[in-house]
Amino acid sequence: MTHEPHSKTDSLIQGYVESPDMQRKLYKRSLLIVVISQIFGGAGLAAGVTVGALLAQDMLGTESFAGVPAALFTLGSAMAALLVGSLSQRSGRRLGLASGFLAGGIGAIGVVLAAVSHSIVLLFVSLFIYGAGTATNLQARYAGTDLAKPTQRATAVSIAMVSTTFGAVAVPNLVDVMGRFAMSLGVPALAGPFILSAVAFILAGLVFLIFLRPDPLVVSKAITQVQLRQSTLKDMPTNLQKINNRGLIVGTTIMILTQIVMIAIMTMTPIHMMHHGYSLGDVGLVIGIHVGSMYFPSLITGVLIDKIGRTAMSIASGGVLLTAAIVAALAPSDSMLVLIIALALLGLGWNFGLISGTALIVDATEPATRAKTQGKIDVLIALAGASGGALSGMVVAHSSYTTLSFAGGGLALLLIPVVIWSHKKQKVVASDGISLN
C-alpha cells in the first residue's frame, strides 16, 4: 500500500520520482538555473580576486599584509561552505545557495563602506562575509550533478563552471570603468569593482531563490529512498565502501593542492605587476585571462574527464600547474605576455584539478549525505586557499615572487604520486567488477 502524499510539494516530488522523463527535464532545467546564477556569481567573485589585495595595500600602507584579503574572504568562504552545505542538506540547494550569495552581496557592500570610511576593521569583517559568495559560487557546481547520471557528472560540473566565465572575465576588464564610476560617487576607485560585486551576488541569490523549484537535491534524495526500498541489497558491498572512501580522500586532496597553488600565485601577481610599473588595466587584463582560464575550458574538461577518466585528468592538472609555476617564476619583469601565459596555465591546471576532484567526490557520496559532505570538503579547500593567500604575501615580502612560484610548483608535483597511488590501490580493491576510471 502506497503512502498518500500529504502536501502539494510531496505530490509534485512523487511525480518526479515515478517519471524518468520528468527527471531528465528537471536535470536540464536545474542546470539552466545554475548557469544563469553562475553568470552573476562569477562577476561577484572576480572583484575580490582582482583588487582585494590592492585595496588592502592601499589602506594598510604595506604589502606584507597584501595576502590578508584573500585569506579573509577564503576563511569566510570556509565558514560559509559549512553553513551552506548543512542548510542545503537540511532544506535543499535552493535555500542554501540563495542564502550564501545574498550574504556575499552584503559583504561586498561592507567593503565599499569600509573604503569610504577608511575603516580597516570594517574592511576585514566585510571581506570575511564577502567570502560567503565565493563559497557559494564554488558549491553551486554541485547543484547540477544531483540528478545527473554517473557518466554525466563531470560534464554537469563543467557546464556550471563555464557559465561563471562570462561574469568572471568581464569584471577584471571593467576595473578602470568601475573605478571611474566609484569616484563619481565619492568612493575610492579600488572599491569600484565591489559595487558591481554586490549587485551580482544579490542577483545570483535571487535567481536560485525564485527559480530553483522543485529542488533537485530534494528530488534526488526521494529517488534514492525509493530505490533503497526496492533494492534487495541491504548493505553496500565492502569493496565499494573502500572505493568510495578512497574517492573522498583523493578527490579532496586534489582540490586542496590545486587551490593552494592557484591562490598563492594568483594573489601576489597583481602586487608583483604593480611593482614593475604595470597599470591597473594591465593587472585587470592578466587576471581576467587567468579567471577565464579557470572556467572557460570547463566544457572540454568535463567531457574529457567523463570519457578518459578522473585519474588521467588529475595527473594532467599537476603537470599544467607545475608548468605554470615555472613560467611565472622565470617570467621577465617587463614581459606581460609571459605573465599572461603563466596565469592562463595556472587557471587551466586549477580547472583540471577542481573538476576531476569534484567528480570523484560526487561519485563517492549518496544524496542522503551529499550536500553536507560536500560542504565539509569545501571548508578544507577554503582553508587551504586561505593558507596559500596569507602565506603568499609573507613569502614575497621576505623573499620574492620567483620563490613563491617555485614553491607552488613543488606542491603541484605532489598531485601526481597521490593520484597514481590511489589508482593502484583502487585496482587492488575492485575485485568484484566495479568500474574504475
Which three three-digit cell numbers place residue 282? 594591465
What 3 state SS string does 225-236 have? HHHHHHCCCCCC
Q: Under CATH, to which class is 18-227 assigned?
A: mainly alpha
What is the pLDDT, as a whole number, of residue 255? 95
Tens of pLDDT, residue by residue over 215-237, are 999 998 888 888 777 765 455 55
What is the pLDDT, as a whole number, of residue 2? 44
Tens of pLDDT, residue by residue over 27-53, are 999 999 999 999 999 888 877 767 877
What is the pLDDT, as a whole number, of residue 431? 42
What is the pLDDT, as a whole number, of residue 134? 87
What is the pLDDT, as a whole number, of residue 18? 83
What is the pLDDT, as a whole number, of residue 427? 54
Q: Which CATH architecture has domain 245-419?
A: Up-down Bundle (1.20)
What is the pLDDT, as a whole number, of residue 339? 96
- The whole-model pTM stands at 0.79
The residues of the chain scoring below 70 in pLDDT are 1-9, 49, 62-67, 70, 231-243, 423-437
Residues of the chain with CATH 1.20.1250.20: 18-227, 245-419
